[in-house]
Amino acid sequence: MKRLSLLFLIVAQPAFAASGPFFSLSNTNFIVMIAFLLFVGLVIYAKVPSTLGKMLDKRSGHIRSDLEEARRLREEAQSVLASYERKSREVQAQADQIVAAAKRDAEAAAEKAKADLKVSIERRLKAADEQIASAEVKALREVKDRAASVAIAAAGDVLSKQLSAADRAAMIDSSISEVEARMN
């Protein structure tokens, strides 16, 4: 009991701090209490608690509808996600098929390129053999022409040393007449 009276004494300290009697207009604590009671009365008269209740009910209704909308949107998002995942799997399967087809095409192209390269090499080897044969024929012809020109030069040199000027002039004249006869 002693403790309870001590508690009331501590709680009532501000009321005893004012000067004069408690129920007088000069006591500030009394004025504050009257103002508070008037304020509470005015709030109740203006039906603020019921207005606050209506506002809170309206707000809870909005929150409830927002939650239902969020739930509906979540379900819709899950169905869209499932649709996209299904489409993603289908696209991945198509991509795998395209990659496999591309590999097959690349292998076929590589085999065709090998075959084309083999044919091209054979053709080039054949062309090289023909060029070598042609070069051999040309070289033989050049050797024969060179041998003939050397033989003619040697014969001309031998003849020029053995023939006199009159014999040479006669040979030139006979050669000219022979060329004239062949040209006509």
Q: What is the pLDDT of residues 58-92, one digit of tens each?
A: 999 999 999 999 999 999 999 999 999 999 999 99
Boundaries of domain holding 101? 47-183
Residue 164 has a CB neighbour count (10 Å cut-off) of 8
Tally of domains within the chain: 1
The answer as to whether 5 is a domain residue is no
CA dihedral for 130, 134, 139, 144, sign (positive or negative) = positive
Span 126-183, pLDDT tens digits: 988 898 988 888 888 888 888 777 777 777 777 677 777 777 778 788 888 888 888 8
Question: Mean pLDDT in the chain?
Answer: 84
Q: What is the DSSP letter of 1?
A: -
**pLDDT score of 13 more than 70:** no
Looking at residue 168, its pLDDT comes to: 76
Is the whole-model pTM more than 0.85? no
The answer as to whether 85 is a domain residue is yes
Only one residue has tokens 């080039």, namely 124
The answer as to whether 34 is a domain residue is no
> Which CA distances in Å does 159 have to 150, 164, 166, 173, 174?
14, 9, 13, 16, 16
The answer as to whether 75 is a domain residue is yes
113: amino acid identity, one letter: A
The answer as to whether 29 is a domain residue is no
The answer as to whether 25 is a domain residue is no
